[in-house]
């Protein structure tokens, strides 16, 4: 019994010495009887008490809070477009710019005007010039199809006042619902003229946007103020 008591005391003294040595040297070894060492317990940090910037530093990139540029929602919304043709190529204009679509009427020719400026007519008391879109783009007159129409669009005149312009085009029979963002920038020959916009692929083929303001500026080149006299005043019967 005396031997066992002496051995127990020796082991107790050895364990106490080891524990004292670990605390003095700052060791991080685990002592099973006491759980985690004190240095490890002190290094534990409650993540709920960290400042927001500390959390962001460890957040994965997709979830980190940052100011991202917002997309243009209007360009992503489907827009109603009016389709027309110039030769074999299809074009589209936003219907917001369209006032009315009317059949072909008798036009009063303009002396000395470019070929694409087909003439003027009286549209409900207003003298309106008509631009042949096929002639302007494809270099040939608009064909006299039953589907050829005059598209009346809003335009800003040279004096800055609101005006009307007629666009004579072929195959004006269909519309298209498509976001403007789906039209990609044109390249090559399709981008050489300022009134030609982006292009998009459809089951009908390749469709290109027409920029109405620029189209009007190009189409009305060579128009004089005297050309806008009332066609009925000199016996003309171009009237709607």
Q: How do the domains of the chain map onto residue ranges? A: 2-47, 80-233
User: What CATH number belongs to 80-233?
Assistant: 2.40.50.180
pTM: 0.65
- Cα 34 to Cα 15, 30, 38: the distances in Å are 12, 8, 9
**pLDDT the model gives residue 197:** 93
**Minimal CA–CA distance to 181: which of 205, 200, 195?**
200
**Dihedral, 115, 211, 107, 160 alpha carbons, nearest 10:** -110
Which pLDDT tens digit goes with each residue over 202-217? 899 999 999 999 999 9
Which pLDDT tens digit goes with each residue over 174-193? 999 999 999 999 887 666 78
Residue 224 confidence class, pLDDT cut points 50, 70, 90? confident
Region 49-59 average pLDDT? 48
Name residue, tokens 């070929």. Answer: 115
Which pLDDT tens digit goes with each residue over 1-34? 445 444 445 545 554 554 455 455 444 444 444 4
152: pLDDT strictly greater than 90: yes
**pLDDT the model gives residue 11:** 46
68: pLDDT strictly greater than 50: no
Which pLDDT tens digit goes with each residue over 106-119? 999 998 899 999 99
Two tokens at 230?
């009332």
């Amino acid at each position: 019994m005396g031997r066992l008591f002496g051995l127990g005391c020796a082991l107790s003294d050895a364990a106490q010495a080891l524990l004292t040595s670990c605390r003095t040297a700052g060791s991080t070894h685990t002592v099973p009887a006491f759980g985690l060492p004190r240095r490890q317990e002190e290094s534990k940090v409650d993540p709920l008490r960290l400042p927001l910037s500390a959390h962001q530093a460890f957040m994965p990139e997709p979830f980190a809070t940052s100011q991202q540029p917002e997309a243009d929602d209007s360009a992503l919304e489907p827009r109603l477009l009016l389709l027309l043709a110039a030769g074999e190529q299809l074009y589209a204009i936003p219907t917001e710019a369209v006032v009315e679509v009317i059949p072909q009427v008798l036009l009063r020719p303009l002396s000395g005007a470019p070929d694409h400026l087909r003439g003027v007519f009286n549209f409900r008391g207003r003298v309106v010039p008509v631009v042949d879109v096929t002639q302007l783009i494809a270099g040939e007159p608009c064909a006299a199809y039953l589907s050829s129409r005059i598209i009346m669009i809003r335009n800003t005149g040279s004096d800055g006042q609101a005006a009307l312009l007629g666009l004579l085009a072929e195959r004006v029979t269909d519309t298209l619902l498509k976001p403007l963002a789906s039209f990609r920038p044109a390249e090559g020959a399709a981008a050489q003229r300022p009134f030609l916009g982006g292009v998009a692929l459809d089951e009908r083929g390749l469709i290109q946007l027409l920029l109405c303001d620029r189209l009007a500026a190009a189409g009305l080149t060579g128009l004089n103020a005297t050309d806008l006299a009332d066609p009925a005043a000199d016996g003309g019967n171009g009237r709607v």
